[in-house]
Structure 1
Amino acid sequence: MAESIQLETERLILRQPRIGDFERYAELLGDAQAARYIGGQLSRAAAWRRFLQMPGAWSLQGFGMFSVVDKASGRWLGQIGPWKPEGWPGNEVGWSFHPDAWGRGYATEAGAAAIGWAFDNLGWDDIIHCIHPDNRASQQLAMRFGSRNLGPARLPAPYEDSPNEIWGQGRDEWRARRVGAAA
């Protein structure tokens, strides 16, 4: 099992997934609108199987998406972070958030911490985000991170028929923007 890793931002805690996160995760994947760009709506039993991917990634790869938790309430808001399944087109930092967390800046805040952690700890030279062409909210988030559209992508099964675009940037681009933002 990977060592316990926790990141903190002004409002959020990013940590490895815990069993208590599942209830809200199942709500996210059970919502047709919220799940439409992340593989589609799932039953609770199917959501459970997908939920186990991240603890498994942490255990076997030493990284995975972080659970994003509100510091004030302890409420699970979503997940964000590094992710690289077999056959994936690159080193992804991906995300999904519960609908009641949308529009509050949580993804931007958590994403900055997760991207910085991935570059600093995984030795990655670049990151990508696989985004459906109709997913304007995720495209805007990627742009806030400084990523740009690199073109269409074909994902491995079972997502091979889903249209996707690769958004991304390199470590040096990320660091230059962080230094510029601090100045």
Structure 2
Amino acid sequence: MSVASIHLETERLLLRLPRIEDFERYAELMMDVEACRYIGGHLPRGGAWRKFLQMPGAWALQGFAMFSVEEKATGRWVGQMGPWRPDGWPGNEIGYAFHPDAWGQGYALESAVAAIDWAFDTLGWDDIIHCISPENIASKKVAHRLGSTLLREGRVLPAPANEAHVEVWGQTRAQWGINRKRLA
């Protein structure tokens, strides 16, 4: 299967490769101070553009990255979710970020289930993590609902994020097999 044809569907969402038309909503997300306080801080439009290009680049070079998440009913880009492993990262991350107008609708949990299934089934990963700011209660709730547990905390990210204190939540493939049944 070519990378370009990869997409996942859930009841309400389409997880697909990023497209240029996703950028406007992505830029809104990245320029929002509140939305970005736990993911490295907000960025001006130019910085958002450079960060936006990370995912298509990772797809092209690694064969995986976070998916763009789109509402099936409207076609609206609501966020990104999926596998992410920059050089020096502390593990195989399933990461996410959602536009503020998509918060509170269960999109993170719904898309995470599809992304975790895909990472285990397609990428062959044996475990996954989520790097979460200790103050990010909403993300910790999502990780907990997925069945992930706190594995470690501290300054575990590579530069330039090496000053960030994070909690690393995660689970193994075997644990996901059990936890996935709970979420069905």
- Taking the aligned partners of 1:175 and 1:3, their CA distance within structure 2 comes to 28
- Taking the aligned partners of 1:180 and 1:52, their CA distance within structure 2 comes to 36
Determine helix, strand or coil for the equivalent of 2:83.
strand
Matched, 1:25 2:26: yes
Return the offset for 1:2: 2.6
Among 140, 164, 167, which residue is 1:165 paired with?
A: 167
- Taking the aligned partners of 2:182 and 2:73, their CA distance within structure 1 comes to 30
Partner of 1:110: 111
Return the offset for 1:181: 4.8
- Taking the aligned partners of 1:130 and 1:141, their CA distance within structure 2 comes to 12
Partner of 1:95: 96
Compared with structure 1, are the counterparts of its residues 181 and 51 closer, same or farther at alpha carbon in structure 2 (3 Å cutoff)?
A: closer
Partner of 2:63: 62
Return the offset for 1:179: 3.4
Return the offset for 1:177: 2.1
For these two proteins, the number of residue pairs brought into alignment is 182
Q: Alpha-carbon deviations, 1:106-165, whole Å to 9, x = none?
A: 111111000110010111100000000110000000011110011114211111111101
Determine helix, strand or coil for the equivalent of 1:107.
helix
Partner of 2:157: 155
Determine helix, strand or coil for the equivalent of 1:50.
helix
Return the offset for 1:178: 2.2
Matched, 1:39 2:53: no
Partner of 2:125: 124
Matched, 1:53 2:54: yes
Structure 2 length normalisation: TM-score? Answer: 0.96
* Letter matched to residue 42 of structure 1: L
Determine helix, strand or coil for the equivalent of 2:3.
coil
Question: Contact (CA 8 Å) 2:13, 2:69: kept in 1 or not?
Answer: yes
Partner of 1:15: 16
* Letter matched to residue 21 of structure 2: G
- Taking the aligned partners of 2:37 and 2:115, their CA distance within structure 1 comes to 23
Question: Contact (CA 8 Å) 2:146, 2:179: kept in 1 or not?
Answer: no
* Letter matched to residue 11 of structure 2: E
Q: Alpha-carbon deviations, 1:17-67, whole Å to 9, x = none?
A: 000000000000000000111110100000000000000010000000000
Q: Residues 79-94 of structure 1: matches in 2 within 5 Å?
A: 79-94=80-95
Partner of 1:133: 134
Structure 1 consecutive aligned stretches of length 4 or more whose deviation exceeds 4 Å = none
Q: Alpha-carbon deviations, 1:80-112, whole Å to 9, x = none?
A: 000000000000000000000000001111110
Structure 1 length normalisation: TM-score? Answer: 0.96
Segment of structure 1 superposing worse, 148-157 or 124-133 = 148-157
Return the offset for 1:175: 1.0
